Chains A and B, each alone.
Chain A
Amino acid sequence: MSEHIVPVRVYVTIFLVLLVGTALTVLAAFHDFHYQIGTLSLNAIIALTIAVTKATFVVLYFMHVRYSIRLVWVIVTSALFWMAIMFALTFADYWSRGWLPVGY
Chain B
Amino acid sequence: MSHAASESIHGHPALQHHFENMEQQREAGTLGMWVFLVTEIMFFGGMFLAYTLYRSSYPAAFASASNHLDITLGAVNTGVLILSSFTMAMGVYFTQVGKTRPQIFALVMTLILGLTFLGIKAVEYKAKYDDRLIPGQLIRSAPFGPAVAHEGDHDPHKLHLLPGATVKQVELFYWIYFAMTGMHALHMIIGAGLLTFLIIFSIKERYGPEYHSPVEVIGLYWHFVDIVWIFLFPLLYLLGRHFEHL
- Chain A residues packing against B (C-beta within 8 Å): 1-3, 5-6, 8, 11-12, 14-15, 18-19, 22, 25-26, 29-33, 38-41, 43-44, 47-48, 50-51, 54-55, 58-59, 61-64, 68-69, 71-72, 75-76, 78-79, 82-83, 86-87, 90-91, 94
Which chain B residues lie closer than 8 Å to A3 at the CB level? 23, 26, 96
B122 at the interface (CB under 8 A from A): no
A5→B85 contact, CB < 8 A: no
A25→B34 contact, CB < 8 A: no
A63→B223 contact, CB < 8 A: yes
Q: What separation, in Å, do the CA atoms of A14 and B88 have in the docked complex?
A: 13
**Interface residue count for B (Cβ, 8 Å)?**
54
Q: What separation, in Å, do the CA atoms of A41 and B233 have in the docked complex?
A: 17
Q: What separation, in Å, do the CA atoms of A6 and B90 have in the docked complex?
A: 10
Which chain B residues lie closer than 8 Å to A8 at the CB level? 90, 93
B31→A5 contact, CB < 8 A: no
Closest B residue, CB atoms, query A75 = B34
- Given A25-B238, A83-B42, are A19 and B82 neighbors across the interface (CB < 8 Å)? yes
Output the least CB separation between A28 and chain B (Å). Answer: 8
Q: What separation, in Å, do the CA atoms of A65 and B82 have in the docked complex?
A: 18
B79 at the interface (CB under 8 A from A): yes
B97 at the interface (CB under 8 A from A): yes
Checking B23, B34, B97 against A76 with a beta-carbon cut-off of 8 angstroms, the contacting residue is B34
Q: A63-B223, A79-B37 are in contact. List 4 more A-B contacts (CB 8 A).
A: A5-B93, A5-B96, A48-B234, A51-B231
B23→A29 contact, CB < 8 A: no
A1→B41 contact, CB < 8 A: no
Output the least CB separation between B103 and chain A (Å). Answer: 13
Which 5 A-B residue pairings sit nearest by Cβ, starting from the closest? A29-B238, A32-B242, A47-B234, A15-B86, A79-B38
5 CB-based A-B contacts, threshold 8 Å: A14-B86, A22-B79, A58-B230, A90-B49, A91-B53
B149 at the interface (CB under 8 A from A): no
Output the least CB separation between A31 and chain B (Å). Answer: 7
A32→B31 contact, CB < 8 A: no
- Given A31-B242, A86-B45, A90-B53, are A22 and B93 neighbors across the interface (CB < 8 Å)? no
Which chain B residues lie closer than 8 Å to A59 at the CB level? 223, 227
Residue among B31, B230, B235 with most chain A CB within 10 A: B230
B241→A22 contact, CB < 8 A: no
